[in-house]
Homo-oligomer: A and B are copies of this chain.
Amino acid sequence: MSSTEKGEMRDGVELSNFCPRFHRAIELVGRRWTGAIIRILLSGPKRFNEIAASVPGLSDRLLTERLRELECQGVLRRTVDTGSPIRVAYELTEAGTELDATIRALSSWAERWVEIPPETAERGA
């Protein structure tokens, strides 16, 4: 009885109680465009223009803002290659890379459950 009062335990994660850490995490990755940016960076470091070109509808201003937030939160880092020309890239930190399991789980869920209008599907293909 006391275990159900405190919430159901399974796989070491207790779900039925509100968890401030989870709440922060979902608010971080759930911000508009943030999930798409992390998802693209999981395939490797990218330059600003590569990310911008990969996410239709994302403005440069918002991309800059999101990249700064993610850098602040320790999810990605900005690297500067001081060759000529100077090249700035964005890559996931260890924390960012470990979002892999979450992003893949949600990608699989979306494949199975999210329907999109045909014209959007064609653009995405």
Contact, CB under 8 Å: A21 / B114: yes
Interface string of A94-125 (1 = CB under 8 A from B): 01001101111111111111101000110110
User: Which among A24, A31, A114 has the greatest number of chain B C-beta atoms within 10 A?
Assistant: A114
- What is the copy number of this chain in the assembly? 2
Contact, CB under 8 Å: A8 / B43: yes
Nearest residue in B to A53 (C-beta to C-beta)?
A: B18
Interface size on A, residues (CB 8 A): 56
Interface string of A49-84 (1 = CB under 8 A from B): 000001110000000000000000010000000000
Give the distance in Å from the alpha carbon of A60 to the alpha carbon of B89 in the complex: 44
Chain A residues 36 to 50 lying within 8 A of chain B, measured CB to CB, are 36, 39-40, 42-44
Interface SS, A side: helix
Give the distance in Å from the alpha carbon of A36 to the alpha carbon of B18 in the complex: 7
Q: In the complex, which residues of chain B have a beta carbon less than 8 angstroms from the beta carbon of A39?
A: 15, 19, 22
Interface residues of chain A, those whose CB is within 8 Å of chain B, are 7-8, 11-13, 15-27, 29-32, 34-36, 39-40, 42-44, 54-56, 74, 95, 98-99, 101-114, 116, 120-121, 123-124
